[in-house]
Structure formats: C-alpha cells, structure tokens
C-alpha cells in the first residue's frame, strides 16, 4: 500500500520554490501595488514595499490559493499558520480566536508587527482575520478567499468562486481558483521536465485522481471504470502519467497500477517527489476526476484538453463550475476515447490580483495613514 499522498498544492511547492530561487519571472512583471509610502501626500518611492501575511489553516490547497494571489501581486508574504484548539475550531468562523493566540501573547501566530495586507483562506482563519483587522485599528487590508458564510462585510475584499454566487461591491468572482502557475513557470517545467516524465514517449496523458469527499465517493464501480479508463489510454498508444491525492482510496490506486502494468506509464506511489507540475506542463491531454475543483482549475491553466471523469455523487455548485469550464472550451466529459482540441489557457489569478490591487489602492486613498513602522510586517518569507 502506498504511503499517504500529499495534496496537489504540496506536490508543487518544492518545484515552485526552486524555480523562484532561479528567476523572478514567475511573479507578475512588476508589482501592481503601491509602495507603502505612496498615496500619502509625499509620493515617496523609497518607502519599504507593501508587506503581507498569508494566514493559513494548514490546508495546502488553501495556502496555495493565498500564495498564488500574493505572488501575482508581487508580494513576498510571511506565512502565519493557525491551529485553534477543538472548541475554537468548531466555533469558526463565527466564534473568537483561541485565547492562547492573542496578538500580544508569546508565540502568537498573529503577533505584531501587522502587515499592510492579510490574505486568508479556510473558515478557521476568519476569527484571526477579524482580530488582526481590529488590532491594527482597521489599517490592515484584509482579503478572504472563498465564501466566508458570514457575509460580504467579513473582509475588505472577498475572492469567492463564481459558482458560489456571492455578490457584493467588495467581491470578485473568478471562474477558476487562484493558483501559483504562471506561463513562465510552465515554460520552465516544459524545458526541464522531471526525468521520470521525460522518459515517457509522446503523446502523454496526465491522469489526476482525487478521492472521496463530502460530495463524491468512489464506489467499486468507479474503481473498475477508472482502471478501465487507464487501460484504454494505454491501448490507444498514450503514455500515462498518474497521480493521486491523500483522499484517493488505496484500492483505486492498486487497480490503476494493475491496469497500467507493462504499458509506458508512471504512477507516483508516494516515494520521492511527485512530479505533479511536470505532468501538467508536459501533458498532451489531461483526465481529471470531478471531485477536485483545484486540480481541474490548474489543468485549465495549461491549455491542454481536459476530460472529466465524474464519480458517484455530485453537487450543484461543482456542476456549475464544470459547466463554466466547458463553456470556455476547456473540458469535456470522458466518453471512452480521447478527443483533441485546443483553447486559450484559463487562469483567473492575474485578474483576481488586479482587482485586489485596485481595491487596495482605493482603501489606501480613504485611509492615507499606513501602519506605523513599528507595527508593520517585515515582508520576509516564513
């Protein structure tokens, strides 16, 4: 049995970090944000740059979305991870922060100096977002990703997926979730593929398998169908690059492994680094299970044709999301045979970042006094 699988976001983290050390091209070309000293009457261009926190609940998918936005804004955020104890976690997003995490207590994840911009995702982060807003006397600009369930006034800016249907003057509703993929990063990975991917002859198909969730389950019938799907790809002369998530049932991976035995294929079994990005960037086509909104969105950033296999279950919001991707030409339902088509890659992250930058500039214009130097974040990664 393979060891537990990390999520897509944690798979890509190592590759992205190595890439960002080599080149700044993976960030936007120039920050769309004003410097911390701009817009305050002096027009200073020598003030420290805008500082930021990513407030994380430890879920890699949430963290990846937050970091994707921060990087698209040209920011170098500190990562502040929260882990409230049982009762306080259960009360989120409506309750208070865990008292042991109060800003002035030793070891607090939200200890000052406070940032100019705070980006958060996950319901457990919301009490902490509110606390930082209050503790900074309203001068920290707050961004929350996904529907907070507490209304649009929860944060200065809310990034809620289009299929959530949340409306408000401070709400931006992208088609796809934010991610850390950029044209420069994908180009780099195509030019420098993982050796295990490079060894496979073209054409290559990436098989991205999710797992059981609150809306989908993988029945024995689904296990058999996905194994047949993998076998069919190999029989059609395709090299198969398969990877799974921590939610993937072990019996499903065993069935896919057996289906690909003897074929030109690579199935990541949890050992070594998962070449998830290399699979995406070097795929001539992609098959994704419908349960993973993030994986479908990341696949759409490549421009490769995406086939969706829908396991047992479903949800109207996920159906609306998939319908949106289909309308833009990115996906088609798996019908037993690969189809070939092209579309313009879809990545909502730059547009989302631009909307946030505009809102932040307006916020700064209304609140010309930035956080005092002693109360501002240092901007270091961490």
- Residue boundaries of the structural domains of the chain: 18-180+348-375, 194-333
Residue pLDDT, tens place only, 70-86:
999 999 999 999 999 99
Query: SS3 for 381?
Result: coil
- Give the model's pLDDT for residue 123: 95
Query: How would residue 35 be classed by pLDDT, with cut points 50, 70 and 90?
Result: very low
Q: Residue 47 pLDDT more than 70? A: no
Query: SS3 for 52?
Result: strand
Residue pLDDT, tens place only, 271-285:
788 899 999 999 999
Q: What is the mean pLDDT of the chain?
A: 86
Residues 62 and 54: their CA atoms lie apart, in Å, by 10
Number of Cβ within a 10 Å radius of residue 43: 10
C-alpha distance from residue 39 to each of 44, 119, 362, 366, 379 (Å): 8, 22, 10, 10, 20
- Give the model's pLDDT for residue 369: 62
Question: What tokens were used for 36?
Answer: 């911390």
> So what CATH class is 194-333?
alpha beta
Write the CATH number of the domain with boundaries 18-180+348-375: 3.40.50
Number of Cβ within a 10 Å radius of residue 294: 23
Residue pLDDT, tens place only, 144-202:
999 998 988 899 999 998 888 888 999 999 999 999 999 999 999 999 999 999 999 99
Query: Taking the model in full, what pTM does it have?
Result: 0.82
User: Do 43 and 93 contact (CB within 8 A), yes or no?
Assistant: no
Same fold, 18-180+348-375 and 194-333: yes
Residues 105 and 287: their CA atoms lie apart, in Å, by 48
């Amino acid at each position: 049995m393979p060891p537990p699988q990390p999520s897509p976001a944690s798979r890509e983290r190592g590759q992205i970090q190595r890439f960002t050390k080599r080149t700044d091209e993976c960030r936007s070309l120039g920050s769309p944000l004003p410097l911390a000293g701009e817009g305050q009457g002096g027009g200073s261009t020598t003030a420290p740059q805008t500082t930021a926190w990513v407030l994380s609940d430890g879920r890699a998918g949430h963290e990846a979305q937050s970091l994707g936005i921060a990087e698209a804004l040209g920011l170098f955020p500190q990562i502040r991870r929260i882990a409230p104890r049982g009762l306080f976690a259960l009360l989120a997003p409506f309750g208070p922060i865990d008292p042991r995490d109060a800003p002035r207590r030793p070891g607090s994840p939200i200890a000052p100096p406070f940032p100019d911009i705070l980006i958060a995702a996950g319901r457990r982060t919301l009490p902490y977002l509110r606390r930082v807003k209050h503790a900074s006397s309203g001068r920290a600009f707050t961004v929350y990703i996904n529907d907070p369930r507490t209304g649009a006034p929860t944060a200065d800016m809310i990034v809620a997926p289009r299929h959530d249907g949340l409306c408000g003057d401070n709400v931006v509703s992208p088609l796809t979730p934010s991610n850390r993929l950029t044209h420069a990063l994908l180009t780099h990975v195509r030019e420098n593929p993982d050796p295990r991917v490079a060894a496979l002859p073209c054409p290559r198909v990436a098989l991205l398998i999710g797992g059981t969730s609150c809306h989908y389950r993988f029945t024995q019938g689904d296990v058999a169908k996905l194994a047949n799907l993998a076998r069919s790809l190999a029989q059609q002369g395709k090299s198969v690059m398969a990877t799974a998530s921590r939610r993937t049932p072990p019996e499903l991976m065993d069935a896919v492994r057996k289906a690909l035995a003897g074929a030109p294929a690579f199935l990541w079994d949890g050992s070594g680094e998962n070449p998830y990005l290399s699979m995406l960037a070097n795929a001539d086509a992609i098959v994704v299970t419908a349960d993973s909104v993030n994986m479908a969105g990341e696949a759409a950033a490549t421009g490769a044709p995406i086939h969706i296999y829908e396991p047992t279950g479903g949800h109207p919001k996920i159906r609306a999301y998939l319908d949106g991707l289909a309308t833009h030409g990115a996906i088609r339902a798996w019908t037993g045979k690969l189809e070939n088509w092209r579309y313009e890659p879809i990545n909502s992250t730059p547009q989302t970042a631009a909307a946030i930058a505009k809102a932040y500039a307006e916020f700064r214009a209304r609140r010309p006094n930035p956080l005092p130097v002693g109360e501002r974040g240092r901007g270091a990664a961490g």
